[in-house]
Amino acid sequence: MGKITKYLPSALVGSTIAAPLAYIAYIYQKDNHQKQHAVLRNFPLLGRVRYMAEHVGPELRQYLFSGDNEGLPFSRMQYQDIVKAGKYNERLIGFGSSRNFAEDGFYIRNSLFPKLRTELKIDNSKKVTTYQYVVDHEGLMSRKEHREEVLTDPYYLRDEDAVVLGEGYCRQPFRIKGQVGMSAMSYGALGENAITALSKGLGIAGGTWMNTGEGGISDHHLAGDTDLIMQIGPGLFGVRTPGGEFSWEAFKEKADMEKVKAFEVKLAQGAKTRGGHLEGQKVTEEIARIRLIEPGKTVNSPNRFTEYDSFEKLFDFIEEMREVGGKPVGMKIVVGDVEGLEEMVQIMKDSGKGPDFITIDGGEGGTGATYQELADSVGLPILTALPIVDELLRQYGVRDRVKLIASGKLITPDKIAIALSMGADLVNIARGFMISVGCIMAGVCHTNTCPVGVATTDPDLQDGLVVGEKMYRVANYVMSLRAGLFNVAAAAGVESPTMLERKHLTHKDIQGRISSVGSMIHKIEQEEQEEKDVEDLPAKN
C-alpha cells in the first residue's frame, strides 16, 4: 500500500502525458497511410486542423469575425432585429444607422410634412394581451431578465383600408386587417412545435394569415386562432385521390373549414422547381393522413401540375375551384420568363379569368431543401420581379382585380414598405418567423437535425422549442412589423401603409444619382425591346 501511494502521482502524470502522445501517434500513422485525402496524407495532423477550422468557420464568422451587417442570408443585425422585436418588443436604436450608404439601394421618400400619429388611420381599438421580456441586469457571462404580461397595440388597418382577396369574384372574399403574414411552410418541413407556436402566435396578433405550405392542413396549423391560406402544389397533398389525381371531394371538405380563407396554387418556387421528394420513412401515419398518401411509401411530386400545361387550362381549373369552394384562389409564381408572364396577363384580360391574387416569390426566398444551382440562379429577386408583374397587370387593365403578395427576405418594416411601394398589397415572411420561434440559421433545415427544434420532426430536438414561450415572440414580431409600417407611412406623408406607392420610393446608385421606380421600369422595357430587335435580326449563315 505504501509503495502504491508513493508511485501513484508519477503514474498519473505519466499516463496523462503518454495517452495523448499515443493517440497523436496513432492518428499520425492513420492519416499518413490513408489514401482518401491528399492533405492528410501529406500533412498528417496539421490537415485535421484545417478540417476543424472549416467545420467551425461559419460559427466563428457569425459570432466573432463578421461585421453586424455582413453575412447571408441574413446579417447579424437583421437577425437581432427579429429576436429583439419578438422577445423584448424593442426596435429603438442609438447612434444612428450602420447601413453602408455608399452602396446603391432603395430609399423611402420622406415628406417635409410627415403625418402626426393622430392623423394615422390605425385601428388599435382592440388591445392584445401578450408577454415580453424585460432585462434586469446584463453581465459578461449572464443576463437576468423576467417576462411580464402586457397589453399592446395591434396596429390593425382600419376597416375601410382592409385588403380584400376575391372581392366581387367569389362568395366568401378574405378580408385582412394587416399586411404581413406567414409564407408557405409545411408541417414536416417544420416540426409540430414550431407550426403550433406560429399558429398560436399569429392568432394572438390577429389580422394576419398562415400559409400551410404544400404539405396540407395539419392539426398543428389549426392549433391557433388564425386564418389559413391552403397551398396546393403539384403533389396535390391533402386534395388527392388514392391514385394521385385531384379530389374535388377532398377540396370541398377543406373549403368548408371556417379557418381556411383562401387557396393558393403553387406553379413554381425558386427553391422547389426541382419538384418534391418525400422518403417513405418520413411518411408517418400522421403525415399520410394529412397528405392523403400511403404511410411508409416514398412520394415524388413533379415540378409542375401534370394536368395543366397552359394558362387556359389552369384558369379553368381556378374558376372551378372558386365555384366549388366559394373562396379566393391565387397563384404562387417565380418570375423569370417575362414574355410568358405577359402572355398570362394577356389571357387574363381576354378571358376575364385568372387568380384573385398572385404571390410572387423572389428567387432569394426559400426555406426548403433544393439544389445550389437552383437556389442561386433560378428566378428574379423580388425587388426586380415585383414591379414587372405590377406594371404588366396595369398595362393590361387587370390590376384592380388581382392582389399581389410579395415574398423574399422582406423581414423588417422598411423592406416591407419598399415592397408595398413597388406594388405589393401584402407581404409573406418565412424565415423571419422561423427566427422568431428560435431558428439560429444553422443551415441544416434539410437534414432533420435542426439544433433548436424548428426545422425538424425529431421529438428530442423539438423538446427544446416551448410553444408557450415562442408563440408570444411570433405575436410580438408581427405586431412590431405593423407598427413599423405605420412609422414609415407617417414619414412618407400618408395615413396608412396601404397608401404607399411608387412615388414614395427612390433608388440611389453608387454614384449618388437617384431614379424613380417608374423610370427604372421604362429603362427595363427599352432594354427588352432592344434585345428583341437584336433577336429579330436574320441568323448568321
Give domain limits for the chain.
148-504, 507-535
Q: State the Cα–Cα distance between residues 57 and 245, nearest whole angstrom.
A: 47
Residue 505: the pLDDT is 94
DSSP 8-state symbol, 229: E
Task: Give residue 57's pLDDT.
Answer: 75
- Cell 423584448 belongs to 88
- Terminal-residue alpha carbon distance, the chain: 101
pLDDT(208) > 70: yes
Lowest mean pLDDT among 54-58, 103-107, 284-288: 54-58
Lowest mean pLDDT among 90-99, 112-121, 433-442, 507-516: 90-99
* Segment among 50-54, 78-82, 164-168, 501-505 with least mean pLDDT: 50-54
What is the pTM (predicted TM-score) of this model? Answer: 0.89
Q: Which three cell numbers stand for residue 43?
A: 500533412
> Residue 307 — very low, low, confident or very high, per pLDDT cuts 50/70/90?
confident
The CB-based long-range contact list for 281-284 (8 Å cut-off, 24+ gap) reads 282/188, 282/457
Listed residue (201, 152, 161, 151) closest to 181, CA to CA: 201
Dist. CA 376–CA 449, nearest whole Å: 23
CA distances from 285 to 119, 185, 186, 246, 293 (A): 54, 20, 16, 21, 9
pLDDT exceeds 90 at position 482 = yes
The burial of 124, by beta-carbon neighbours within 10 Å (0-12 exposed, 13-18 middle, 19 or more buried), is given as: middle
Predicted local distance difference test score (pLDDT) of residue 37 = 83
Q: What is the dihedral of CA 523, 526, 531, 534, to 10 degrees?
A: -140
pLDDT given at position 257 = 97
- Angstrom CA distances, 263 to 173, 359, 365, stand at 11, 11, 20
Determine the Cα–Cα distance for residues 249 and 315; give it in Å rounded to an integer: 20
pLDDT value of residue 473: 97
Burial of 198 (0-12, 13-18, 19+ CB in 10 A): buried
Over the stretch 240-259, which tens digit does the pLDDT of each residue have?
A: 998 889 999 999 999 999 99
Chain segment 358-395, per-residue pLDDT in tens: 999 887 766 555 666 676 677 788 999 999 999 999 99
Q: How high is the pLDDT of residue 4? A: 63
Q: Mean pLDDT, the chain, as a whole number?
A: 88
pLDDT > 60? residue 175? yes
What CATH number matches the domain at 148-504, 1.10.540.10, 3.40.309.10, 1.10.3720.10, 3.20.20.70?
A: 3.20.20.70
Secondary structure class of 147 (helix, strand, coil): strand
Average the pLDDT over 123-151 and give the result.
Answer: 91
